[in-house]
Amino acid sequence: MQDTVKAWLENGTIDVFLGYKKVDNHPLPHCFTKARLEELEDLVVSPDRYPLEKIATHMTTAKPEVKIGMLARDCTQRALNVLYIWNQLDPEKIQTLNVNCCPSPLKEKADCSYLRPATVGDYKKEKGVNNAALLEQLSEYGQEERLGRWMYEFQKCIKCYGCRNICPVCFCKECSLEHEDLIKTGALPPEIPVFHLIRAVHMAGRCIDCGLCEEACPMDIPLRLLYRKVNDIVAQVFDYKTGTSASQSPFNILGDSVTLEPKPIQLTGTDS
Ligand code: SF4
Ligand code: SF4
């Protein structure tokens, strides 16, 4: 890994490399450069996850010509695909060094909706929110019960913006969640369910189910469940599986060659 990054930096394939550096035995996100190649000795694969692709988006905004290399798990690749489609990053300027998902908290909990069952193996869902099961269980509850459940979850929110700030595919320059006309400044909890529904709508066709928002939420709100439901609807209507391709745009359905014929959503009377 170190040799590859060193070669990329030396031969100009990349200008910087985003990875993890061990500091006091703790892996922290770090930007490796040609000027300090000796730091590559401390380059590690971290079991903790940070949205390196979000750092790349910020870097590119400040310096569009920079060529960036980065460690990439499966969820990083999905986020990159979304960022390419939304023109936030240029695939020509990104070089990934792919690493296995494991170890990661999601894999330990078998809680990744993109992992095939064979990959998941015998990992048990012993802790954390079993989001996949909950999504399936949603239809067992009536609309009123589900609304009650979400209002209970939402009223725990302390509007810390951790979910938005950690999200690799939250990239708007002006955020609706800080717009005075939509979200009252200083109101705690933020007006519910508006705050959370605004974010959920923005995540439609964008959320790649990395789970970082839920890990960051200090109030343990099952945010992934909400965004999974939203993306389940996107998949049904637009045949679009977020993040799985850098070429399948969610907007293709509006292209000249494609007739806009959204598929009907399977409404069961209890569907949200
Ligand atoms: S799971 Fe959360 S942090 Fe990850 S892409 Fe979706 S909304 Fe963003
Ligand atoms: S991280 Fe949790 S508590 Fe903070 S704004 Fe998001 S939902 Fe609310």
Closest residue by Cα to atom 2, ligand 1, is: 213
Question: Best mutation site among 195, 198, 213, 217 for ligand 2, i.e. most ligand atoms within 8 A of its Cβ?
Answer: 217
Residue 225 lies in a domain: yes
Distance 215 CA to ligand 2 centre (A): 10
Determine the pLDDT at residue 5. Answer: 97
What's the burial of 157, exposed, middle or buried (CB within 10 Å: 0-12/13-18/19+)?
Answer: buried
Does 73 share its domain with 189?
no
∠ CA 131-136-141, rounded to 5°: 105
Please give the DSSP secondary-structure letter assigned to residue 70: E
Instruction: Quickly tell me which residue has 């939203």 as its tokens.
Output: 230
Please give the DSSP secondary-structure letter assigned to residue 151: H
Residue 264 lies in a domain: no
Closest residue by Cα to atom 4, ligand 1, is: 210
Distance 20 CA to ligand 1 centre (A): 21
pLDDT in tens, the chain (272 residues): 999 999 999 999 999 999 999 888 888 999 999 999 999 999 988 777 899 999 999 999 999 999 999 999 888 999 999 999 999 999 999 999 988 765 555 555 555 666 544 333 333 333 334 455 566 666 777 788 888 888 888 888 888 999 999 999 999 888 888 777 777 777 777 778 888 999 999 999 999 999 899 989 998 888 988 898 888 888 888 888 888 888 877 765 544 444 444 444 444 433 43
Query: Which ligand 2 atom is nearest residue 223's CA?
Result: 7
Number of domains the chain is built from: 2
Closest residue by Cα to atom 3, ligand 2, is: 157
Distance 219 CA to ligand 2 centre (A): 7
The DSSP code sequence of 16-44 is: EEEEEEEETTEEEEEEEEGGGGGGGGGEE
User: Could you list the residue range(s) of the whole structural domain that residue 7 is in?
Assistant: 2-100
Residue 267 lies in a domain: no
Residue 272 lies in a domain: no
Does 140 share its domain with 230?
yes
Residue 112 lies in a domain: no
Amino acid at 34: K
Q: Which residues line ligand 1 (CB under 6 A)?
A: 166-169, 203, 207-213, 223-224, 227
Q: Which residues line ligand 2 (CB under 6 A)?
A: 157-163, 216-219, 221, 223
Does 143 share its domain with 94?
no
Does 198 share its domain with 147?
yes
Amino acid at 62: A
Does 136 share its domain with 28?
no
Say what the pTM is. Answer: 0.81
Question: Best mutation site among 129, 150, 158 for ligand 2, i.e. most ligand atoms within 8 A of its Cβ?
Answer: 158
81: which residues sit within 8 A by CB, 6+ positions away? Answer: 208, 243, 244, 245, 246
Does 62 share its domain with 176?
no
Does 226 share its domain with 170?
yes
Does 96 share its domain with 140?
no
Residue 45 lies in a domain: yes
Does 66 share its domain with 23?
yes
Does 86 share its domain with 198?
no
Closest residue by Cα to atom 2, ligand 2, is: 217
